[in-house]
Structure 1
């Protein structure tokens, strides 16, 4: 993985301690100073040295805590250092714990100038998921966390800055120790994990781009390039004229205030034969000023992230194509820049959407639902079995759920349950919100069919209700509001560097692997 500094290579290996590679060996320690059971594979001298230091209180085992030791003479290890890494409470370990450990491991190796290391963390086979019989997928979780934690966005760094950062980030190779009988299976799984991690990287890269570089046409060009790299993907870009012919006044109205005209991007991947079609729609507002309903100046620079839903669609398409999965997948990204000008839509305007529904626009900052409405209607024309949309749609959802879960709504309980399970497994967690019929009353308009805001109360839900008006009654549909999870400028999680998170790629990849193949 080598995009934006992603030079970290991860492999799996087995064998005896004398054959382990790397200039450091990473050993896990549970909270309370108990070493992981796999320590016995390091030989008696190393085991004795580690237990002695732990008994002396050198490390208590809090998650991410670390200490470096020198292996005792005659240990037989190739590594010149031992890195003890705190794993946290043993009874609290889960898959996300090991992703977090992977991120901590990456950061520590960079900080301690370790270029190559091998870890025992993946060797223990006793880790069980809480209240479940299955084992935690330790090796793949560590790899995923390490790759995600190694991400750096440096497209606009000078050559001098890049050179300095390369010297500061020397970590290049991680080996995960696994039992010999699991070696082949873990290698195959690691290939899948890396493809998904690459998809996360692509989503992060796109979302981190500044608005003056990645405008709607720039995003469309990225779709063309993706199709160029993966012939299985067919990309179609709808211009302003084509959007007008299709009656997509929602997309056109939102983009009317900008000198960068809107686009509708479709990406088709069809390698599933006669299997059903899955459609994924992602909001692509490349910059959101709020339009005439102008946002406050503070934090407005973060509104380049208002296309994180669209970025996730790109990342998912890339991961699916790289793995050559036998599915049929449609990606739809409505792209626009929401700006104030003499040509911008006004509060009080009424627009007729592609579906024929009229909308009273009372707030031009509630623009995402307008472009998604036309995109959902367009996606429906392909007759998919399921439509899922992702959008940084409402501040209300971010207030309700924070940065640790995305909001989930929809009209099909089976689909919603599948997505919830995929969220738990992938780490892109979801929390379901109700869509009672009473909420629909809040978006009724006195001058049009509906209005684009439903008032201060239940803002995330009424936004979902708005979108539901553009989905056919018998069409299985789910809406995912990622406003709180899409990016974090104050992130303290080691596998989520500051900026775009790439949320949605892992979630939908897991959903496809578990329920669509």
Structure 2
């Protein structure tokens, strides 16, 4: 189906300090560093294109090709696209590979020149041994589809190699998996540099899939949507907090939804409902408001609805809830200044949720989905909530605020209560909630806390497919006992200091959930990428957006 092709500039009034950046942000404000779209170019290839609204000349020029090769016992084997290139060049590709040292190992790449008349640059990327269905004993415990992850990495390596060579137009081999290939390429080209001078910004090439197979083109388009969704979440997370207040967050999502709606068969299937402060107050969301009142920025509860089906008897939606603290100082329990700037990304759960719902609409998912995002800042002020205060949540439970830096769970508590009004078939919440989970899992996987074995299996399967893993953590009754309070019904921290901090946080959220199918994802450990994966550079990661999309898509079948 047609995808996002145009976006509108935010029309709400902005603060004076933000006006200076409107010129830099331009019409691509809603999608990231460059406006991104997917379009069919011809019967022979399909394109993932990134273009800038800047009027300056693009320094990239020329054309290039990326193809792959497998390792074999006797040497190497070219992919089907690479074989076509070799045939067209009368064996020149194989001859050049042999002259350059022979087989190219997994993860490696080589750049050749003037192999074809029309493309001055040709990169060959190593894919390792061809997957013949037998499990690889050396990677069996990786908990991901290793062959797909290899394709993502190889596509990223080849794309970035030609980008570094200043190639403007790239034709990309599908590498046996067009969807994973698109994901790797799209994700690898992300760069948050629009606030820098033009000459310091990376130039983004056009990347096209070389294929005559319509199945490949469909898979490529899907992969582009998945990659673009994660990039949108990354862009939101990277944006400085003075340029992404709760109000601006609402504007950016509204703008992007407006663009996507233009390409949908039924534009009314995707809608945005911003709930202002007055509405939040009318809903008796005392926990949420206790954090929001410390900032002069108005809070919002943003709803993004996607109606993917009306034909099924069971129209109950999946409700996704994302923590949206656009900057977290810790409040009165203030954080150390070192590294506090990273807390611009404390709305990572919100970013992933809104990106997921919009991508599901683009993919035509046959599922009803509601995204709920409580948005505010956590600031110290004379109005801010104080340690020892007691507040009352939407469901009537009283909460002792032992630590104002455990604020995310207070936003989520009221939002989880509200989620039940949609009669959901399942609720999944995401939050950069605890430093404890970063200590426990690092960036290896997002943590899943749930009492539902079915929901765990669905999320685990989705993570295996996308390569963006999840790992189940315990949710014992023990942790519920540790959040008891002598002042209120519960405390917002555990009584064992730092012990089991991620587990007691999940136990706290459980107090506000009544449905059986609920999962809490603590994504604090995967908030940042440290460059471990070729397709995910250093910076905010946008994880686990693709896993969340895959989970919902799987439930629609």
> TM-score, normalising length from structure 1?
0.86
Aligned length: 481
Deviation string, structure 1 residues 376-426 (Cα, Å, up to 9, x no partner): 000111111110001101111111111120000112110110011001111
The 2-side partners of 1:290 and 1:416 are apart by 31
For 1:66-215, list aligned pairs within 5 A. Answer: 66-71=110-115, 78-88=118-128, 93-120=146-173, 122=175, 138-157=177-196, 161-163=197-199, 165=201, 169=203, 171-177=205-211, 183-215=213-245
The one of 522, 527, 535 aligned to 1:481: 522
Give, in angstroms, the shift of residue 267 of structure 1: 1.9
The answer for the alignment partner of 1:442 in structure 2 is 482
Kindly tell me: are residues 53 and 205 of structure 1, through their superposed partners in 2, closer, same or farther at Cα, counting changes over 3 Å?
Answer: same
The answer for the alignment partner of 2:284 in structure 1 is 247
The one of 430, 434, 454 aligned to 1:390: 430
Contact 2:113 2:121 in 1 (8 A): yes
Contact 2:189 2:204 in 1 (8 A): no
Kindly tell me: are residues 328 and 406 of structure 1, through their superposed partners in 2, closer, same or farther at Cα, counting changes over 3 Å?
Answer: same
For 1:222-237, list aligned pairs within 5 A. Answer: 222-229=252-259, 230=261, 231-237=268-274
Kindly tell me: are residues 492 and 60 of structure 1, through their superposed partners in 2, closer, same or farther at Cα, counting changes over 3 Å?
Answer: same
Deviation string, structure 1 residues 58-80 (Cα, Å, up to 9, x no partner): x7525144332443xxxx76433
The answer for the alignment partner of 1:129 in structure 2 is none
Which stretch of structure 1 is more off in the superposition, 109-118 or 309-318? Answer: 109-118
The 1-side partners of 2:463 and 2:540 are apart by 18
Kindly tell me: are residues 220 and 29 of structure 1, through their superposed partners in 2, closer, same or farther at Cα, counting changes over 3 Å?
Answer: same
The answer for the alignment partner of 2:402 in structure 1 is 362
Contact 1:139 1:176 in 2 (8 A): no
The 2-side partners of 1:31 and 1:12 are apart by 32
Deviation string, structure 1 residues 478-509 (Cα, Å, up to 9, x no partner): 11111011223x42433223322221321121
Which stretch of structure 1 is more off in the superposition, 342-351 or 146-155? Answer: 146-155
SS in 2 for 1:173: strand
Contact 2:483 2:491 in 1 (8 A): yes
SS in 2 for 1:381: helix
Which stretch of structure 1 is more off in the superposition, 189-198 or 43-52? Answer: 43-52
The 2-side partners of 1:496 and 1:348 are apart by 42
SS in 2 for 1:404: coil
The 2-side partners of 1:143 and 1:87 are apart by 15
SS in 1 for 2:95: helix
Contact 2:287 2:413 in 1 (8 A): yes
Deviation string, structure 1 residues 354-378 (Cα, Å, up to 9, x no partner): 1111111111111000100000000
The answer for the alignment partner of 2:105 in structure 1 is 61
The answer for the alignment partner of 1:135 in structure 2 is none
Contact 1:202 1:314 in 2 (8 A): no
Deviation string, structure 1 residues 152-189 (Cα, Å, up to 9, x no partner): 223323xxx32553xx5252233334xx5xx1112222
The 2-side partners of 1:201 and 1:505 are apart by 9
The 1-side partners of 2:109 and 2:418 are apart by 51
The 1-side partners of 2:207 and 2:526 are apart by 30
The 1-side partners of 2:234 and 2:325 are apart by 15
Kindly tell me: are residues 78 and 290 of structure 1, through their superposed partners in 2, closer, same or farther at Cα, counting changes over 3 Å?
Answer: same
The answer for the alignment partner of 1:52 in structure 2 is 98
Contact 1:8 1:150 in 2 (8 A): no
Kindly tell me: are residues 40 and 261 of structure 1, through their superposed partners in 2, closer, same or farther at Cα, counting changes over 3 Å?
Answer: closer
Kindly tell me: are residues 236 and 96 of structure 1, through their superposed partners in 2, closer, same or farther at Cα, counting changes over 3 Å?
Answer: same
The answer for the alignment partner of 1:466 in structure 2 is 508
* CA-based RMSD: 2.6
Give, in angstroms, the shift of residue 279 of structure 1: 0.3
The 1-side partners of 2:343 and 2:467 are apart by 24
The 2-side partners of 1:227 and 1:31 are apart by 44
Q: Mind listing any 5+ residue stretches in structure 2 that lack a counterpart?
A: 6-27, 46-61, 131-135, 140-145, 262-267
SS in 1 for 2:243: coil
For 1:187-336, list aligned pairs within 5 A. Answer: 187-229=217-259, 230=261, 231-273=268-310, 274=313, 275-336=315-376
The 1-side partners of 2:363 and 2:93 are apart by 41
The 2-side partners of 1:404 and 1:376 are apart by 27
SS in 1 for 2:347: helix
Kindly tell me: are residues 10 and 398 of structure 1, through their superposed partners in 2, closer, same or farther at Cα, counting changes over 3 Å?
Answer: farther
The 2-side partners of 1:228 and 1:23 are apart by 34
The 1-side partners of 2:382 and 2:457 are apart by 46
Contact 1:8 1:147 in 2 (8 A): no
Deviation string, structure 1 residues 273-329 (Cα, Å, up to 9, x no partner): 152211000000000000111111111000000001001111112112223333211
Kindly tell me: are residues 326 and 30 of structure 1, through their superposed partners in 2, closer, same or farther at Cα, counting changes over 3 Å?
Answer: closer
